[in-house]
Structure 1
Amino acid sequence: MDGGEIIDNYASKLQVVTEGEWAGWSWYPGGDPFEDLAGPFYCRLDEQGRRVCAFKAEKKHMNGGMFMHGGCVMTFADFCLFWIAQDAIAGTRSVTATFNGEFVGSAGIGDRVECAGEVVKAGRSMVFVRGLIVNASEGGAPMMSFSSVLKKTGPRT
């Protein structure tokens, strides 16, 4: 989101959750300080091999009206686009170059928020991604559609 998220050994920090509500999902503890504060956000490959992300809405994610804060939704979307594009950006440092999102719904405390998406095109230096964030607790009601461009800035060191 801020255009400065650098993926450096990101995949090597992936840890699988082995018990509890998120068993079978993975997360990146210590992967990104802001996402650690905003999350935790989880990711996995679903039964069809799609890259999906999720988290449970807490009070810290709400705005003054007790609906999910738009900044939280955008932060989650930024996390998701890097997971969705993981294969296309492997071995590189990448940053968010552009981000467009349309807010179409919300979530409340305790709701499960999920995202799936796709790489539209993976070029030599740019990766185009789109996704849909939904409120899974409300039958998959859409919350935000987004598109983004990731800029590969160099090889991962």
Structure 2
Amino acid sequence: MRHTTEEDVSFLHPAPPGFVAFSEIADPLVSHVGPMYQRLDDTGERIGAFFVTARHLDQTGGSVLHEGMLLLAADLFLGLTAFGASQGRRCVTLGLNASRLGVARLGDLVEIRPRIDGVAPSIIQASARISTHAGIIMNISSHWKILGAS
């Protein structure tokens, strides 16, 4: 799905087909960059999404999405996935490793597909594939500390 307006109308976008507005956590930062959307795929895995709007753009790149927005969205949906894998225990990001493979542009729908790669007693390893209609634009690997676990 592609929206071509140059105007920042992110709060006027309807949710993409099959997605619902993300309202699981009250995070002040997310309220500044959203709205975010989510859905479950056929296997029950969470998929996150957002539309690229003018406020998400890299000021040096014209109509190109700033990579910081990709990292923020990945961290959000990876964190929710880690929280689920930890059976509801709070987790914090230990590290993210990102490889940018392409770009998203104004109006693109960006999808984040997080998954759990491993769970140890106190650490969770997770990764995400971020894509647009044109293909994969970033791969992320991450580690999460389960708070209170030793």
The 5-angstrom pairing of residues 6-155 of structure 1 reads: 20-22=14-16, 24-28=19-23, 31-64=26-59, 65=61, 66-136=63-133, 138=134, 141-154=135-148
CA distance in 1, matches of 2:25, 2:43: 28
In 2, Cα distance between equivalents of 1:95 and 1:125? 11
% same residue: 29
Shift of 1:92: 1.3
Kept after mapping to 2: 8 A contact 1:68/1:107? yes
Structure 1 residue 28 displacement after superposition: 2.4
Asked if structure 2 preserves the Cα contact closer than 8 Å seen for 1:62 and 1:69, the reply is yes
Cα RMSD (Å) of the superposition? 1.9
CA contact (8 A) 2:21 2:35 kept: no
The 1:36–1:29 alpha-carbon spacing in structure 2 relative to 1, beyond 3 Å, is farther
Equivalenced residue count is: 133
How big is each residue's C-alpha offset from its partner over 1:126-153, in whole Å with a ceiling of 9 and x where there is no partner?
11001100013x2xx1111000011111
* TM-score using structure 2 length: 0.79
State the shift of 1:82 in Å: 1.5
> C-alpha separation between the residues in 1 aligned to 2:90 and 2:122?
11
**Can you give the 5+ residue segments of structure 2 that lack an aligned partner in the other structure?**
1-13
Give the TM-score taking structure 1 as reference length.
0.76
